Structure 1
Amino acid sequence: MINRLYNILTTAVLLMVVAAGCTKKLDLTPTNDITADEVYKTPLGYKQALAKVYGAFALTGNTGGTGTPDISPEIISDEGNSDFLRLYWNLQELTTDEAAWTWPNDAGIQGLKEMSWSSDNAIVKGVYYRSMFQIAIANDFIRQSTPDKVSGRGITGNDAADIKKYHAEARFIRAYQYWVLMDLYANPPFADENTTIAVTVPDQIKRADLFKYIETELKAIEPDMAAPKANEYPRADQGAVWALLSRLYLNAKVYTGTERFTDAITYCNKIIGAGYTLNPKYRNLTVADNNLNTDENIFMIAYDAKYTQNWGGTTYLAHGPVGVPAATSGTSGSWTGLRHTQQFVALFPDPSGATDVRAQFYTPGQILEMKELYKQTDGYSSSKYRNLTHDGKPAPNADPNGNWADIDFPIFRLGEVYLTYAEAVLRNGTGGDATTALTYINALRKRAWDNKAGGEITAAQLNLNFILDERGRELYYEAQRRTDLVRFGKFTTDTYLWAWKGGAAAGKSVNDKYNVFPIPSIDLTSNPHLTQNTGY
């Protein structure tokens, strides 16, 4: 059940690490009166604590257990802006051709589209500390769920076996968040369950070393994870491990300087061989009952209008687009914020959606060209995220005021895996072939054309430029665009320009330092082990 994990969380009395705003406090000891032995004395206590680890993806605020006023005062003053997904999504999308935000006075917004951010940007700081917070609570769970700890508390048999799976899942979440930090910040501080609490100032880890750590962790936990599609929703399983490995290997040259495309294909094959299939309707992927899409979903952040009430997450993605009527978005109305550049719209030969149904643009009252960056009428809007069921009915846990969304967010789904397989084949990875790659791409295209004729491409059309464009069409607003553009060498260069890139209306190249974000200045001050990324 979609809300089960958060129901467990909200009824739990938990002991967890309280994150702080500087990395020297990445592993603080608790300061309340509840001890670890009380929290973890029963199997239910362990499951409640695991729910806290997962809940850090979607919950905000100090009482909700995932916020901290030290993250960034500008961000925490608006709890929605402290949600992991909203922060992460903004760095991955607002910096690219896919999205712009209307309101320049919102903390951290100015400088993202223009690629002129600094180490004091509120959103740059916010993602950094949110990821580290989830790592901190995962570390605590991991150290409390070792076999010695579990047996020492008298837990045995099936209960101990379940906790072994929980332990692996917490390691997966930690690995995912370290991947986020590696992708965005390259060389973050590092602490694991063995870091001495409240004593050790974390060392900085180099990007290539962090890549190896993530790879090793994922391979180590794979046998202990539930089989694909066999775990309680929305918990991670082997499919999630394989999906993160495939993404890790696809971007390996960026992270380490060494290509790993053959390994990317290997893990794509594992996922595809596990029985995942495309959902027949693209629209079903981002609606309020998309938790039912177990055919395509691999790992999701679950949002629920009853248990995850904040202004971030998919609430942001349903309300945010300019002009979309409440009856269409399934919300109380638009925040008149999110818009596409004309260059992104041009990826769709027919932006009406009459052919490629993925072109879910909302155009009434909008002009195509983004002549002004912060003008709400400039740029088409989007209706991709709708807080209605696949058949247009109210959301399962519909908020009567229309505020909160029930839409789950896809971190990994099969559509991405098909695209990864095809790209890795085109980049000369082995273990796959061009014919199969074309089959997978055309499966996406057939769905995009609602199984009507006209969408399929030929072998001659399948090239790397096509793949980048197809990833844009298939995965837009799913927080992947920046990573893709960096991998293709188009994020900072003049090989692809979009409106307001570099602060110019027509777009311009920027310094290559912007391929990664800076370490927040507060961490450089508080942790002498850290050095800033080159150029900042």
Structure 2
Amino acid sequence: MKNIINRIIPILTISFFMVSCHGDLDQFPIDPDSFTEQDVFANATEAKGALAKLYASLALTGQDGGDGGNADITDIEQGFSQYTRMLFNLNELTTDHGVVGWGDSGLPDLHGMYWTGSNSFTGAMYLRLAQQVSFCNSFITNAEGLSDAEAQTFIAEARFLRAFAYYNLIDFYGSVPLVTKITTDLPSQASRTELFNFVETELLEVKDLLPDAKGNEYGRVDKVAAWALLSKLYLNADVWTGTDRYSDCVAYSNDVINSSYAINTVDANGNGTAYDELFLADNNSNGAQNEFIFLVNFDGKQSTTYGGSTFLIHAAIGGTMDPTEFGVNGGWGGNRVTKNLVNKFETGDQRGMFYTDGQNLEIESIPQFSEGYACTKFKNIDSNGEQGNDKTGEFTDVDLALIRLPEIFLNYAEASLRGGGGDMNTAVTLINQLRERAYGDASGNISAADLDLQFVLDERSRELYWEGQRRTDLVRYNFFTTANYLWPFKANQKNGTSTDPFRNIFPIPNNTISTNPNLIQNPGY
């Protein structure tokens, strides 16, 4: 998929929050040499290029590399609109895991927790996910005319990707339109429970239509990805629907755990831990790929973007840091961490990767890069210390996991503690696998007496920081907006404070509301 991703075929679609005002857009070109959807879906071989577009929509921002134009989403700088970059902004910068010193309009609002329906970052994520749903709907409709088995697998993958987009929409926005066909009708919103039921039904139906574990190309999903997304869905069911599904979370987590995926234990660069290999330029081949269940591919030559790992690496470099040690040509001096994250790591836990020279642990003023430790988790160098494919150092090769096996270990433990019926000895064993990798030995292992919900939340922070998970976890624990847990500059106060609970979800973009009178803004906005 890394090679296909740069040769994607655009699909003409209608977004589920927009409508066409010209009926003649439905007509076919008169010129027989024009390339149309009929050509794209002539057979499974051609359709595979269109499938690549669905995956690429999570990695890229338009039809040209970098910020070269032809952006998928307007009214925001193109690099800002990339999915994993916005995932970081909305799920990490709004929490104790990160702050950013840049003053771009709407960006300080995220950590300050005072965003509105006009915020360009919360709005761009909505549009990105809506576009992904639209792309998937178009693909599914067109591919249904193909009868061979490979095409049916493609359709199952597209349905998974659509379900993943809706999983995000449920999490971020609550109630949004549920649209499964390309239409010019103005849609109405579905409830969070209706959306939850749709995602659940889709995943239950496609899980047996997808290839077996690791039976697909690297970067494409298999049935384990469906099990894993069900695990994530069920873990959040109580918050999203008011009905807990912890026993289902345990069951599907267990299916994933017993699959052929395994945590990486290969210390390829010989630094005493196999954890950092997950975030290096060769993480598609150094052993890390064995625990990547669902990921976004990046390549400094083939898929260039100012989002993705290019953003995570460049934006975290500043002060006295040497960019060449990270395989890039410079730092953007933006993202750092708060003391709350740093203080979660005990001596010997090598997952805590921070740069401290010239950096203050305490943050007195967010705009200064020296305020807060810098994060060194992601590096555009491989296990042999060599730079990634782009020798200019502009774009990076590090793939980003959206779901990896350790998250499912932690899902199992949390759901078991919440009454899901899992085995606590198994939960301890799973967590100790992660901690043995983190410490390089058994010195950080825990016993059943140490395992409670707070420990699991802290372990999720230690294992998954800066991977786009934190806000969702804090909402589930009722920590995100309440005074139960504070961090520096939470709700725009130096020592942190509570804020209104309506901020547990983001607003639907005001422009979208004005375009479609059937939509109702989320309460509080």
* Structure 2 partner of 1:164: 152
1:88-126 Cα shifts (integer Å, max 9, x gaps) = 21000110000111111x242021101000000000000
Structure 1 residues 61, 7: CA separation in 2 closer, same or farther (over 3 Å shift)? Answer: closer
Structure 1 residues 270, 359: CA separation in 2 closer, same or farther (over 3 Å shift)? Answer: same
* Structure 2 partner of 1:530: 519
Q: Secondary structure of the residue that 2:293 maps to in structure 1?
A: strand
* Contact persistence 1:296–1:413 (CA under 8 A): yes
* Structure 2 partner of 1:90: 89
Structure-2 separation of matches of 1:527 and 1:25: 13
Within-5 A mapping of 1:181-260: 181-193=169-181, 195=182, 197=183, 199-260=184-245
Structure-2 separation of matches of 1:342 and 1:99: 10
1:348-393 Cα shifts (integer Å, max 9, x gaps) = 133xxxx111010011110001111221110001110101112322
State the 1:150 CA deviation: 1.4
Within-5 A mapping of 1:58-77: 58-61=59-62, 63=64, 71-73=73-75, 75=76
Structure 1 residues 472, 25: CA separation in 2 closer, same or farther (over 3 Å shift)? Answer: farther
* Structure 2 partner of 1:501: 490
Structure 1 residues 69, 506: CA separation in 2 closer, same or farther (over 3 Å shift)? Answer: same
* Contact persistence 2:3–2:302 (CA under 8 A): no
* Structure 1 partner of 2:401: 410
CA root-mean-square deviation: 2.1
Q: Structure 2: where are the runs of 5+ without partners?
A: 266-273
1:35-81 Cα shifts (integer Å, max 9, x gaps) = 321221132210011011111011113556998768441x1xx3211
| TM-score, normalising length: structure 2 | 0.93
Structure-2 separation of matches of 1:347 and 1:99: 14
Letter in 2 for 1:448: A
* Structure 1 partner of 2:247: 262
* Contact persistence 1:23–1:189 (CA under 8 A): no
Q: Secondary structure of the residue that 1:309 maps to in structure 2?
A: coil
Structure-2 separation of matches of 1:470 and 1:387: 26
Within-5 A mapping of 1:35-434: 35-61=36-62, 63=64, 71-73=73-75, 75=76, 78-104=77-103, 106-146=104-144, 149-151=145-147, 160-193=148-181, 195=182, 197=183, 199-280=184-265, 281-292=274-285, 293-323=288-318, 324-350=321-347, 355-395=348-388, 398-430=389-421, 432-434=422-424
Structure 1 residues 70, 446: CA separation in 2 closer, same or farther (over 3 Å shift)? Answer: closer
* Contact persistence 2:188–2:519 (CA under 8 A): yes
Percent identity, aligned pairs only, is 40
Structure 1 residues 27, 298: CA separation in 2 closer, same or farther (over 3 Å shift)? Answer: farther
Structure 1 residues 188, 63: CA separation in 2 closer, same or farther (over 3 Å shift)? Answer: same
Structure-2 separation of matches of 1:463 and 1:115: 29
* Structure 1 partner of 2:447: 458
Letter in 1 for 2:359: Q
State the 1:128 CA deviation: 0.2
Q: Structure 1: where are the runs of 5+ without partners?
A: 152-159
Structure-1 separation of matches of 2:485 and 2:317: 25
State the 1:210 CA deviation: 0.2
Structure 1 residues 214, 278: CA separation in 2 closer, same or farther (over 3 Å shift)? Answer: same
Structure 1 residues 69, 48: CA separation in 2 closer, same or farther (over 3 Å shift)? Answer: closer
Letter in 1 for 2:365: E
Letter in 2 for 1:403: E
1:277-297 Cα shifts (integer Å, max 9, x gaps) = 110110111111111233211
* Contact persistence 1:203–1:529 (CA under 8 A): yes
Structure 1 residues 472, 370: CA separation in 2 closer, same or farther (over 3 Å shift)? Answer: same
* Contact persistence 2:88–2:467 (CA under 8 A): yes
* Contact persistence 1:107–1:123 (CA under 8 A): no
Structure 1 residues 491, 25: CA separation in 2 closer, same or farther (over 3 Å shift)? Answer: farther
Structure-1 separation of matches of 2:278 and 2:414: 22
Structure 1 residues 15, 519: CA separation in 2 closer, same or farther (over 3 Å shift)? Answer: closer
Structure-1 separation of matches of 2:11 and 2:177: 24
Q: Secondary structure of the residue that 1:315 maps to in structure 2?
A: helix
Structure 1 residues 68, 25: CA separation in 2 closer, same or farther (over 3 Å shift)? Answer: farther
Q: Secondary structure of the residue that 2:295 maps to in structure 1?
A: strand
1:398-457 Cα shifts (integer Å, max 9, x gaps) = 212101010000001111011000111111102x2100000001111100002x242101
Letter in 2 for 1:382: C
Structure 1 residues 252, 365: CA separation in 2 closer, same or farther (over 3 Å shift)? Answer: same
Structure-1 separation of matches of 2:72 and 2:392: 31
Letter in 1 for 2:511: I
Structure 1 residues 70, 388: CA separation in 2 closer, same or farther (over 3 Å shift)? Answer: closer
Letter in 2 for 1:346: N
* Contact persistence 1:85–1:313 (CA under 8 A): yes
1:180-225 Cα shifts (integer Å, max 9, x gaps) = 01000001122112x5x2x211221110110000000000111110
State the 1:18 CA deviation: 5.9
Q: How many residues align?
A: 506
